[in-house]
Structure 1
Amino acid sequence: MLPAAQDTGPVDGRAELIEAFRGELHAHCYRMLGSPHDADDAVQETLVRAWRGLARYEDRGGIRPWLYKIATNRCLTMLARRGHREVPADLSVEATQVQPYPDGRLEWARALTPEARVLAREGVELAFVAALRHLTAAQRAVLLLREVLGFSAREVAGLLDTTVPAVNSALQRARARLDGLRPEASQQRTLRLLGDRAVRELAQRYATAWEQGNVDAIVALLAEDARYSMPPLPVVYQGRLSIRAFLVEVTTARRWRFLPASANGQLTFGTYRWDDDRGSWLAAGLDLLAVRGSAVTEVVSFLTADFPSFGLPTEIAGQPAR
């Protein structure tokens, strides 16, 4: 459960009172919508509506619940406009419908306690956000408001204009639906258990193996049941043998360079392929790695990621590494 950011008390008409919540509202809208760009739209409209409503606002429990009411209902409206679609049972395939989230968006969490910062990062982990898409929009809203943000059932009922029994029922259904879909362990907790040095060494070995075209070294870092996907392509490679065959093809045909990045609280790399015609490295994908123990269990390589939003260049001048 994330703690409440400091509530500034009675509203006095200053826009700063609601602007201070932009960061945590954005993370909430990302969890609801699965897209940082859609979250941008939802938060912007939330803040505009809040600014316009400040004069009529009555302080009944603080400004934070009021803002979450506006933001959540805006997200529900956006989800309703998308319409219903069947969600595949395979979480790796489902991850193709979720976009990566820059860790830079979590700057607001730096003011929280260390434990709360970990919870904030856990809340945007790729597998968790992908799992949320197996819920109805209402179930998703209730689960996030209750279990991530820590609002009471009575508060959530007020935020969603429903009843406490309806909130409890939706939460029960959401929990049941997510059983077996949530990752076994949080990536944040896994990386903390490994320790900074072990995480750096794992990342370095993985990047070096790719840059050297050493397929055996890459495969050695993978769990037996590892997955590899490349959104928006629907293909998913399952298991070491399947992934190895794919790696032989891509490492033989191209040369690669990896730059460390940060997304969804996970090990992340910006990957670049050498282009002879341009004489430079061109952005290829944003790779997010899931780790269990000291093995990589999943790689999701977003082929259409917005590199600048992750602090990465789209092109690197220089010579091929090999």
Structure 2
Amino acid sequence: MTDARRLGTDEAAFIAAVRSDDTARFTLITERHRRELQVHCYRMLANYDDAQDVTQETFLRAWNKRESFEGRAALRTWLYRIATNACLDFLEKRNDRTPVPAGLPGADSELPYLQPYPDRMLPEDPQESVVARETIELAFIVAVQHLPPRQRAVFILRDVLGWPASKAADDLELTVASVTSALQRARVTMREQLPGRRLDWRSPATHELSEGERGVVKSYIDAHERNDLDGLMSLLRDDLRFAMLPDPGTVVVGAKDAVDGWISGGLFQAGYDDWRCITTTVNRMPAAALYRRTSDDPEYRLLNIAVLHIVDGKIAELTGFDATDKPWLGLPPTL
């Protein structure tokens, strides 16, 4: 979605709402941008709860700064500026929002604060959604976290949103030269973090799951519901990367080590042998919601979300999220 799409209409209506101190009209106009601003904050923060909070902070700041809007830039641009700086302020106050070494060869790092993003909350506009998958997948979100906050903001504004250098510089109160330099450094880091993946984030990319991906998720769910350890093992690549969040220190590299850990944790044994699962999607990725029933409970209760990165028909990365009492995915708590 380009700024020109509503340029003039939104700006005039916004200024009129400000002059009349019309909070209802102000809310109606700004709410149109909530979903895309929330995705922007999520890319900056890698945490859905925090993205929601900072997006709300963005609207509060917009209301408090409403008199400063003169219509010289698009309202969308003005809101992005506020959201970006709200994210930077958030990150400045937190010293727990950087990747930490995983301590395993080939595991690189882990983000205990990483949360999945429910697809139902992605922007509905098809032009926003068409680039959403490769720039919202977990691997991309994790890679972006390796950038220093201001460099991260430059990269997202320039290479994801496609803003010109002058516009990004104005947004971040930097010089064009500083933005260009920061972008060059960010691109080097992203190439290191995402080897073998395309780096032209602004060109169209599919956001639909393939039939192959759907088939692997179905097989993964069937294996769980049948307590089929061999079937589960057959779906995993030998170099599987597994992490269970938000617990730190859970990164495992290698399918055998991952499965051994699951078995030692009780998988498919008493108490962990009565499963019902449903297919879902988060971060434009295939996922399974795992519900467990124990002997003293008549209902299956949501336990984990397993997000799968599938390569050549096998699971290359499996990121598990504790889903207990997590209503933000919009999943039923029981089956």
Per-residue CA shift, 1:104-139, capped at 9, x if unaligned?
Answer: 111x2x3224xx523123222111111111111011
Once the two structures are overlaid, the 10-residue window that deviates more, 34-43 or 247-256, is: 247-256
Q: What amino acid is the match of 1:302? A: F
What residue is the counterpart of 1:138 in the other structure? Answer: 150
Q: What amino acid is the match of 1:242? A: D
Conserved in 1, the CA contact under 8 Å of 2:302 and 2:323?
Answer: no
Conserved in 1, the CA contact under 8 Å of 2:99 and 2:109?
Answer: no
CA separation in 1, counterparts of 2:6 and 2:68? 18
What residue is the counterpart of 1:293 in the other structure? Answer: 312
CA separation in 2, counterparts of 1:57 and 1:44? 19
CA separation in 1, counterparts of 2:205 and 2:112? 24
Q: Is the counterpart of residue 240 in structure 1 residue 252 in structure 2?
A: no
What residue is the counterpart of 1:170 in the other structure? Answer: 182
Q: What is the Cα deviation at residue 298 of structure 1?
A: 0.9
Q: What is the Cα deviation at residue 4 of structure 1?
A: 4.8
Q: What is the Cα deviation at residue 84 of structure 1?
A: 6.7
Q: What amino acid is the match of 2:181? A: S
What residue is the counterpart of 2:100 in the other structure? Answer: 88
CA separation in 2, counterparts of 1:310 and 1:4? 30
Q: 1:305 to 1:277 in 2, by over 3 A?
A: closer
Conserved in 1, the CA contact under 8 Å of 2:132 and 2:284?
Answer: no
Alignment of 1:1-322 (within 5 A): 3-4=2-3, 6-9=5-8, 10-11=11-12, 12-13=16-17, 14-15=25-26, 16-83=28-95, 87-90=99-102, 93-106=109-122, 108=123, 110-113=124-127, 116-182=128-194, 184-185=196-197, 195=210, 197-233=211-247, 234-249=249-264, 250-253=267-270, 254-255=272-273, 256-304=275-323, 307-316=326-335
Conserved in 2, the CA contact under 8 Å of 1:210 and 1:218?
Answer: yes
Q: 1:58 to 1:93 in 2, by over 3 A?
A: same
Q: What is the Cα deviation at residue 43 of structure 1?
A: 1.1
CA separation in 2, counterparts of 1:203 and 1:26? 28
Q: What is the Cα deviation at residue 308 of structure 1?
A: 2.6
Q: 1:185 to 1:307 in 2, by over 3 A?
A: farther
CA separation in 1, counterparts of 2:59 and 2:293? 43
Q: What amino acid is the match of 1:219? A: M
Conserved in 2, the CA contact under 8 Å of 1:18 and 1:47?
Answer: yes
* TM-score (structure 1 length as normaliser): 0.87
Q: What is the Cα deviation at residue 83 of structure 1?
A: 2.7
Q: 1:305 to 1:104 in 2, by over 3 A?
A: farther
Determine helix, strand or coil for the equivalent of 1:269: strand
Q: 1:306 to 1:297 in 2, by over 3 A?
A: farther
Per-residue CA shift, 1:13-69, capped at 9, x if unaligned?
Answer: 241322211110000001111111111121112112223333331111311111111
**Count of aligned residue pairs for this structure pair:** 308
Q: What is the Cα deviation at residue 248 of structure 1?
A: 3.4
Cα RMSD after superposing both structures? 2.4
Once the two structures are overlaid, the 10-residue window that deviates more, 164-173 or 82-91, is: 82-91
CA separation in 2, counterparts of 1:190 and 1:7? 26
Q: Could you say which structure has the higher helix fraction?
A: 1
* TM-score (structure 2 length as normaliser): 0.84
Q: 1:95 to 1:218 in 2, by over 3 A?
A: farther
Determine helix, strand or coil for the equivalent of 1:58: coil
Identical amino acids, percent of aligned pairs: 35
Determine helix, strand or coil for the equivalent of 1:298: strand
Gaps of 5+ in 1: 317-322
Q: What is the Cα deviation at residue 94 of structure 1?
A: 1.8
Conserved in 2, the CA contact under 8 Å of 1:213 and 1:251?
Answer: yes
Conserved in 2, the CA contact under 8 Å of 1:95 and 1:126?
Answer: no
Q: 1:3 to 1:59 in 2, by over 3 A?
A: closer
Determine helix, strand or coil for the equivalent of 2:177: helix
